[in-house]
Structure 1
Amino acid sequence: MSKSKIYKILGVLVLVTIIGGGIWYWQLPNRHKAIVKSFVFEKTGIVNPNWKVQNQSETYRMISPEFYIDGIYKSMEGPKSSKYVKLSRDSSLVWLTGFHVKALDSKSMQYISNDYICHTNVDFNDVNYYTSLHLQKRIGSQYPRMTSLSHGMESFNFPAGYGVPMKGNEYLYVTTQSLNHNLPDADQWIRHEVDIDYSQAKNLKPLMSRTAFIMLPFDKSNPYKSPLDPGTDQCIPVETKNHTYDDGKGNKLSGHWVIPAGKHTYRSPVNSQLQLTDSLRLHAAAIHVHPFATRISLVDKKTNKAIFSSKIVNHKNSTGLTSIEPFSSEEGIWLYKDHNYEIVLDVDNTTQKEQDMMGSMFLFFYDKELDDLLQQDK
């Protein structure tokens, strides 16, 4: 076979590969397109995948790699990056007291709109964490996410005198993801600045995290069929691969669903997530919702009263969350093991098309068992 013929065959193969790859890429959802682009940018050297880290004055600051915003990225679709971090080099106890994230222009490093922030998750290794604190029975009891910041609540602190304790040389796993609801023609490189506040004080009270979120039933045989009564606690999931759960009876539930136009209220029991084996005192809560949510409450069904409600303010002339009211209390509010609790979420979809929604709470309770163990170690 002549060289010219070989070159022609190779050229055709390359062309077919490029065309096939292009068709495959354009059929991907936004989330997976972002993953592919980020991978290519890193491998070709367009983006440095390394984080910039500063650790000073009891604030651990991280600046993410660059994220390229080139179109609309709704919640959980945008470019993201993850990093393992240690707050100190030794095993001395430190107390996590606050979490913060801001968006930066990647060139000027000046702060820009937080509309470019989707969420920042802080996870921990529950095996190492609970073993080091002599609480091995808690291993595997829930997903090991300590907390999450998200659009509308990009910063929160625990009430004075409280924190989450951990050994300083244990790893946290931080993931931060970008967002863009409003600029279809965007062409901007951004970064996220993530701060974790911590203290080495000796007299703080320990908090433990419990995650609770709305899960709504859907038809597992025909998941994208509209419910008979739209806007009720039946739902259409955004997708069935992620954020899909089983109620233990073979029924499917979704934590990420679509909402129709107009005002609606969703309710979901959360006792199984709270795991109340005894009375617990709630001191703080971080909230995660999507645009068009207007209020989220943790409700005691026995008294029919809200433990707390967070008012949510949406942007007036664009899609996005201006603010989410946090819950923080030095005194605390008691939750009881013989009461039933639910999350109630109010939404107002002011558009004429379906929107995606989530409703989650990261709840922080005083941890008496851990406090007793820490007192013994003094």
Structure 2
Amino acid sequence: MSGGIYYWQLPNRHKAIVKSYVFEKLGIVNPNWKVDNRQQTYKMISPEFYIDNIYKSMEGPKASNYVQLTQDSAVVWLTGFQVRALDAKSLKTISKDFICHTNIDFNDVKYYSSFHLEKRIGTQFPRLTSLSHGLESFSFPKGYGVPMKGNELLYVTTESLNHNLPDANFWIRHEVDIKYSKEPDLKPLMSRTAFIMLPYDKWDPYKEPTDPGTNQCIPVETKNHSYDDGKGNKLSGHWVIPTGKNTYRSSINEQLQLQDSLRLHAAAIHVHPFATQITLYDKTAQKAIFTSKIINHKGKIGLTRIAPFASEEGIWLYKNHDYEIVLDVNNTTATPQDMMGSMFLFFYDKELDAILRKN
């Protein structure tokens, strides 16, 4: 009885973790991934996910797997990513509304050490990119890719989602594709993660309403996606939006860490339902670098499409300019909703290109 009471008091995210663990131990779910690596596309199918409730972003059942693209240390180039939701038995494609995150992480110590770039270790969270609802696939522009030693490991986590079916009772899987090339003449990209962080009252974080003039937010929770600004003030990257239209913005200069001018060639976007557009903005030049238009479902909660950014020519970002992310939202429901605004930005890596060409 105590265990049952404890379980029903858990938030959805933790209930999903408990259920997945129990299903695995009882043999109901096979925890192994199905893997296929042919034609320079690494395909893998996740274990089964049980959809039995409303699972908002970062709440649903999930699974993780290590990926090794080749058996040797020759350089390969990551060129694109894709995730699909499948029926657990037939493996036929079903609605993408059951796809939350698919995160691709790397070991920054091994990655940078293998290219003799040890000074970069620990400077950024080692997440290469992320797919999410509305952006289930993207590719780098022609001639560009992210290089890595083929036998180094990537760590892939894929998570399920369900915004609209409270009486759900079925099983799904995710198929994740990582596309790569062995061509030697691509140009290398480096990844930088940038996202909106808004201040909140650390003494009373859920106090509302907040003062619009202070750009403060109400965090979804204070344990995850909570940061310190270095002055003792708390910031949240996962916050609550009220009903109606609002605009949120924050500086990303510290996240970009621009030591010199860099040329931007691609961006993968992550937002939640009710976002309408997100912009990388140059405050110094007072102009948008690019704006990603976001299409929401009609008649239900979800994202139809998030426009990625890709450019062979590239756009310059400058060390002495100030940059911010600007997010526009329109909560068309009568209740508050959760929100994030993130970008995985890919810049031409001149230093790594010189190392690769020398070798």
Q: TM-score range by the shorter chain?
A: over 0.9
Corresponding position: 1:256 with 2:206: no
- Alignment counterpart, residue 19 of structure 2, candidates 34, 37, 41: 37
Read off the aligned partner of 2:284 and give its amino acid letter. K
Residues in 2 aligned to 1:233 and 1:174: alpha-carbon distance in whole angstroms: 34
Alignment of 1:215-226 (within 5 A): 215-226=197-208
Give 1:184's match in structure 2, choosing from 123, 144, 166. 166
Q: Distance in 2 between matches of 1:165 and 1:320?
A: 34
Contact conserved, 1:231 with 1:264, CA < 8 A, in 2? no
SS of the aligned residue for 2:18 comes to helix
Q: Cα distance, 1:188 vs. partner? A: 1.0
- For the residue of structure 2 that corresponds to 1:112, the secondary structure is coil
Q: Return the alpha-carbon distance in structure 1 between the equivalents of residues 208 and 58 of structure 2.
A: 23
- Give the aligned partner of residue 359 of structure 1: 341
Aligned length: 359
**1:231 touches 1:259 (CA, 8 Å); kept in 2?**
no
Whole-angstrom CA distance in 1 between matches of 2:212 and 2:52: 34
SS at match of 2:358: helix
Residues 169-225 of structure 1 deviation map (CA, whole Å, 9 limit, x = unaligned):
000000000000000000110000000000000100000000000000000000000
Retained in 2: the 8 A contact 1:60–1:196? yes
Query: Residues 84 and 171 of structure 1 are in contact (CA less than 8 Å); yes or no, is this contact kept in structure 2?
Result: yes
SS at match of 2:207: coil
Partner of 1:243: 225
Q: Distance between the aligned counterparts of 1:169 and 1:276, measured in 2?
A: 30
Instruction: Judge conservation of contact 1:232–1:266 (CA < 8 Å) in 2.
Output: no
Letter in 2 for 1:96: L
Structure 2 residue identity aligned to 1:41? F
Q: Which amino acid letter does the alignment assign opposite residue 65 of structure 1?
A: P
Match of 1:146 in 2: 128
The 8 Å contact of residues 295 and 345 in structure 1, kept in 2 or not, is answered as yes
Contact 2:210/2:217, CA 8 A, preserved across alignment: no
Distance 1:250 1:232 in 2: 17
Distance 2:6 2:228 in 1: 32
Amino acid in the other structure paired with 1:155: S
Cα deviation, residue 240, structure 1: 0.2
Moved over 6 A (4+): none
Q: Which residue of structure 1 aligns with residue 56 of structure 2?
A: 74
Which amino acid is the alignment partner of residue 106 of structure 2? Answer: F
With normalisation by structure 1, the TM-score equals 0.94
User: In structure 1, what is the equivalent of residue 249 of structure 2?
Assistant: 267
Please show how residues 1-378 of structure 1 align to structure 2 within 5 Å: 19-230=1-212, 233-377=215-359
Deviations 1:131-166, CA, capped at 9 Å, x for gaps = 001100000000000000000000000000000000
- Offset at residue 226 of structure 1 (A): 1.3
Q: Kindly indicate whether the alpha-carbon contact (under 8 Å) linking 1:231 and 1:266 is maintained by their aligned counterparts in 2.
A: no
Question: Who wins on radius of gyration, i.e. which is larger?
Answer: 1
The AA in structure 1 aligned to 2:187 is: K
1:214 counterpart letter in structure 2: I
Give distance in 2, aligned partners of 1:230 and 1:376: 53
Give me the whole-angstrom Cα distance separating, in 2, the residues matched to 1:231 and 1:89. 55
The aligned amino acid for 1:149 is L
Distance in 2 (CA, whole Å) between partners of 1:341 and 1:45 is 50
Percent identity reads 77
Letter of the 2:323 partner, please give it: Y
Q: Shift in Å at residue 228 of structure 1?
A: 3.6
In structure 1, C-alpha distance between the alignment counterparts of 2:135 and 2:264, rounded to whole Å: 19
Cα deviation, residue 303, structure 1: 1.2
Displacement after TM superposition at 1:230 (Å): 4.9
- Tell me which amino acid in the other structure corresponds to 2:200: F
CA apart distance, 1:249: 0.5
RMSD value over aligned CA atoms? 0.8
CA shift, 1:348, in A, is 0.1
Q: SS where residue 258 of structure 2 aligns?
A: coil
Q: Which amino acid aligns with 2:11?
A: P
Distance change (3 Å), C-alpha of 1:208 and 1:45: same
Say if 1:230 and 1:260, in contact at 8 Å, map to a contact too: no
Query: What is the CA distance between 1:264 and its match in structure 2?
Result: 0.2
